[in-house]
Amino acid sequence: MSFKGLKPILYGGREVWPLVEGGKGVAVSNHASSGAWAAAGGIGTVSAVNADSYDPDGKIVPQIYDGLTRKERHEQLVQFGIRGGVEQVQRAHEIAGGKGAININVLWEMGGAQQILEGVLERTQGLVTGVTCGAGMPYKLSEIAARFNVHYLPIISSARAFRALWKRAYHKVADLMAAVVYEDPWLAGGHNGLSNAEDPRQPQDPYPRVKALRDTMRAEGIADSVPIVMAGGVWFLRDWNDWIDNPELGQIVFQFGTRPLLTQESPIPLAWKDHLRTLEPGDVLLHRFSPTGFYSSAVRNPFLRNLEARSERQIPYSKVEAGEHTARLDVGVGNKNYWVAPADLERARAWVAAGFKEGLRTPDDTIIFVSEDERAVIQKDQKDCMGCLSHCGFSAWKDHDDYTTGYLADPRSFCIQKTLQEIAHGGPIDQNLMFAGHAAFNFKTDPFYSNNFTPTVKQLIDRILTGD
C-alpha cells in the first residue's frame, strides 16, 4: 500500500507511479539509473546533456576535442551528444523491460540543443515517452515534440514563465503536453530559474507558486488531469501530505533529483556518494558563477569556495582618471593604464603580495586578482572551449550567427563542461563542481541510509512510496 493511497497515473499509455527521476546532465542520469527507475514503475530520465557513449568493449569513450576551431569542436560535441544520448536511451529501454516510462532531459541553453534533441529523437523512435526541458525559454520544444510524436514536459519556475511559453507556442500542440514541471528555484540542484525580481536569499513557499501555476493552466483551458510535477526539495512524501489529492492543485507528481544519486545503480563515483553522506544544512550554495548566467546550486566544496574567493579579490577600474578613480594601478597589469580608487590600490597591492599577482579584466569593468597558476588554467580552458553552451560567459562563445557573445570572456566563471565531465568520471570531488539539491543534508540524518546503506533504485522507490 502506498503512502496516503498515492495512485498510479496514466502516462504514455501505461500506468506508472507519479514519481519522476530528475534529469542530471553530463553522464549522471544515465541508462543504469533511469532504466532501473522505469523498471520499478516510475518515470526514469536519461540526461541527453553530454551523455556517455561506449566502445565495442563497453568502455566509456573519452570525449576528446581535437578540432582546430571552436566551431569544429562544437560540431564534435554535437556528434558526441547525439551518439551518447541514443546509446543511453537504448540501454535504459532494455533495462526498463516494458515497465514505467523513459523520458529524456535537455537543457535548452546547452550548445546545439535543438540539433542534439532532434538527432536523439530521430534514432530512438518508440523508446522515448517524453522530453523534459528547461534552462531558458524552450519555445520550440512543442514543435519538436510534434515532429517526433513524443510528449513534452516544460520545466519552469513561475506561472509567468509558463504563460509566456503557452501563449507563444505550446497552445498549438496542447495534446502532447504531458505535464508541467515546477522546479523550485531555491531548492532544486543544478541550474535554477530565479528571475531578477526574486531574492536568492529569501526562499518562497512553493505552495502558492504552484497554485498560481495551476490557476494559470486552468485559465488557459488546460485540464486538471495534466499534472504539475513538483521538483526541488522533495525528500519524504509525508512532507507533501497536503499536496496529494488537493483540489486546489489538481494532479501532482513528484520529482526526485538528489535522492537517486545515492543508489547502487547511480553511476557517480564512490567518493561523491560518500561525500553526500556528510553534508549539513547550508552546505549547498545557490551561486552565480555558472557560465550560463543562471543561478545554480552545488555543494560548497573547495572548488566553489575558490570561485567565491576569486570574486572577492575584485576592484572596479576606469581607463581614464575620473571620479574616485584617482590612483593608477601599478600591480598585476603590467604597464597598462587603469585607474582605481586609492583604497582599492592598497587592496590590490596586498593581494599581489599574498601571491595573487595576475590582474584579469571582467566584462563588468572590474579586475580580479589570481595566482599565476590560476591564470594559466583559466586561459587554457578559455582557449580549449568546445562550445557546450548556447551562450558562454566564461569563453564568450555563442553557438550561432557570428559565434561570439560580443562580451569580454569572464575569468570569474569556469569551464562547466570540463569540471562536470571530470567529477562524473572519477576526478577529485573537491576540485570540481558538485551539483546537489538543497535537501541533500538528509542523507546524513535519514535512517534509511544509516550504517552506510546504499539502496537499489527499486528499494529507494519502495521506501519513497511508504512516505519516507
Strands 366-370 and 314-316 come out as: antiparallel
Q: What angle is formed at CA 197 by the lines to CA 192 and CA 201, rounded to 5 degrees?
A: 60
CA dist 333 and 262 (Å) reads 46
Q: Residues 114-137: pLDDT tens digits?
A: 999 999 999 999 999 999 998 878
Cβ pair 206, 158 in contact under 8 A: no
Instruction: Choose among 266, 305, 312: nearest CA to 283.
Output: 305
Q: Is the pLDDT of residue 1 over 60?
A: no
pLDDT for 356 beyond 90: yes
CA distance 190 to 187: 10
Q: Taking residues 268-275, report their average pLDDT.
A: 97
Q: What is the phi-psi region of residue 143: left when phi exceeds 0, alpha when psi lies from -120 to 50, beta otherwise?
A: alpha
Residues 6+ apart with CB under 8 A from 417: 26, 50, 77, 386, 388
pLDDT per position as a tens digit, 371-385: 999 999 999 999 999
- Using alpha carbons, select from 306, 90, 290, 312 the residue that is nearest to residue 190: 290
Please write the tens of the pLDDT for every residue from 189-240: 888 888 878 888 889 999 999 999 999 999 999 999 999 999 999 999 999 9
Total-model pTM = 0.94
In sign, the C-alpha dihedral spanning 258, 259, 261, 266 is negative
As given in the structure block, the three cell numbers for residue 326 are 584617482
Cα–Cα distance for residue pair 145/149, rounded to 1 Å:
6
Domain-wise residue ranges, the chain? 3-270+443-465, 302-424
Output the average pLDDT for the chain: 95
Is the Cβ–Cβ distance between 71 and 404 less than 8 Å? no
Phi and psi dihedrals of 461, rounded to 5? -65, -40
Q: At 152, list the grid cell.
A: 513534452
Residue 209: closest CA among 176, 186, 235, 177: 186
Q: Are 345 and 326 in contact (CB under 8 A)?
A: no
- Overall fold of domain 3-270+443-465: TIM Barrel (3.20.20)
Cβ contacts of residue 323 below 8 Å, gap of 6+? none
Round to whole Å and give the CA distance between 461 and 443: 15
Q: What is the DSSP letter of 184?
A: -
Which residues neighbour 191 within 8 Å (Cβ) at sequence distance 6 or greater? 107, 109, 134, 135, 290, 292, 294, 295, 296
Query: How far are the Cα atoms of 72, 264, 364, 378 from residue 348, in angstroms, in the given order?
Result: 39, 49, 17, 20
Quick: pLDDT tens for 295-324. 999 999 999 999 999 999 999 999 999 999
Q: CB–CB of 263/276 below 8 Å?
A: no
Averaged pLDDT, 93-111: 96
Residue with cell 506508472: 16
